[in-house]
């Protein structure tokens, strides 16, 4: 899968996949999109002090980096699944740490260099496990139950199998009561699939350039 580095409107990088005509992040701003969707509407809305986060699409590592940078005194066990990991010559050129505190550079590098399919302590209170696998056939039983799901797959019209209702049902079944689900997508059919799968879903304001996104919770 060929990928090209693109500069977004907030000055941060994203990657473009010509084969899919799709970007990893919003061209209106990669960092501001991730902050809005996954941190402000995900991490900050979780009331748990120790939580298990499951991310669909490790990609550039931006969501993981921003989670570490904004975790406060929370203890986080972060699991991220990715079928097409970036190569060193790709992630080493990304400019995220130039716009974030300089101290994050080492952690960002460690995230990408850490071994796949093995838990790595990035810093105190943040453990990362990157999973090199295909989400559509993944056995969730090998992981602890989730408190927060970051669903950051490519758009439904680009990768429809990633937005399958049966897959959502498996994720919901493996999410703790009170667990949260966030995604940049706001499609009505995706919302209905997630609701049928066991999440209570609602549309909330989206990041710059996007009117709405989806936020959900698994009821007790």
Domain that holds residue 178: 33-217
CATH number at residue 212: 3.40.50.150
pLDDT digits (tens, 9 = 90+) for 53-110: 999 999 999 999 999 999 999 999 999 999 999 999 999 999 999 999 888 999 999 9
Q: Is 10 exposed, middle or buried (0-12, 13-18, 19+ CB in 10 A)?
A: middle
- Domain membership of residue 20 (yes or no) is no
- Domain membership of residue 113 (yes or no) is yes
pLDDT of 41 higher than 90: yes
Give the whole-angstrom CA distance, residue 59 versus residue 81. Answer: 9
Strands 175-183 and 146-151, bridge-based pairing: parallel
Give the whole-angstrom CA distance, residue 162 versus residue 156. Answer: 7
Longest dimension (CA), the chain: 45
- Domain membership of residue 212 (yes or no) is yes
- Domain membership of residue 65 (yes or no) is yes
Length of the chain: 220
**DSSP secondary structure of 22-70:** EESS-TT-HHHHHIIIIIITTGGG---SEEEEEEE--TTSHHHHHHHHT
- Domain membership of residue 8 (yes or no) is no
Give the whole-angstrom CA distance, residue 54 versus residue 146. Answer: 6
Q: How many structural domains compose the chain?
A: 1
Going by C-beta distance under 8 Å and a sequence separation of 6 or more, which residues neighbour residue 132?
82, 83, 85, 116, 117
3-state SS, residue 79: strand
- Domain membership of residue 62 (yes or no) is yes
Specify the DSSP class assigned to residue 187: -
Two tokens at 122? Answer: 């990035």
- Domain membership of residue 7 (yes or no) is no
Residue-level pLDDT at 1: 79
Residue-level pLDDT at 172: 98
Residue-level pLDDT at 48: 97
Q: What are phi and psi of 2, to 5 degrees?
A: -75, 145
- Domain membership of residue 23 (yes or no) is no
pLDDT digits (tens, 9 = 90+) for 165-207: 999 999 999 999 999 999 999 999 999 999 999 999 999 999 9
Residue-level pLDDT at 114: 96
Q: What is the pTM of this model?
A: 0.97
Residue-level pLDDT at 102: 83
pLDDT digits (tens, 9 = 90+) for 113-161: 999 999 999 999 999 999 999 999 999 999 999 999 999 999 999 999 9
Q: ∠98-57-205 over CA atoms, to 5°?
A: 75
């Amino acid at each position: 899968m060929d990928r090209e580095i693109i500069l977004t409107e907030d000055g941060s990088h994203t990657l473009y996949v010509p084969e899919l005509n799709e970007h990893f992040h919003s061209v209106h701003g990669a960092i501001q999109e991730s902050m809005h969707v996954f941190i402000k509407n995900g991490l900050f809305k979780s009331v748990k002090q120790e939580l298990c986060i499951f991310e669909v699409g490790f990609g550039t590592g931006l969501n993981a980096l921003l989670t570490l940078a904004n975790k406060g005194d929370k203890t986080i066990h972060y699991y991220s699944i990715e079928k097409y990991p970036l190569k060193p010559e790709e992630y080493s050129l990304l400019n995220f740490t130039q716009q974030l505190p300089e101290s994050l550079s080492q952690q960002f590098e460690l995230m990408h260099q850490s071994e796949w399919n093995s838990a790595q302590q990035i810093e105190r209170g943040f453990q990362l496990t990157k999973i090199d696998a295909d989400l559509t056939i993944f056995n969730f039983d090998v992981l602890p139950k989730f408190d927060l799901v970051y669903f950051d797959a490519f758009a439904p019209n680009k990768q429809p199998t990633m937005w399958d209702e049966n897959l959502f049902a498996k994720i919901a079944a493996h999410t703790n009561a009170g667990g949260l689900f966030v995604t940049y997508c706001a499609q009505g059919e995706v919302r209905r699939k997630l609701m049928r799968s066991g999440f209570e879903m609602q549309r909330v304001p989206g990041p710059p350039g996007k009117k709405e996104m989806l936020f959900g919770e698994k009821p007790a």
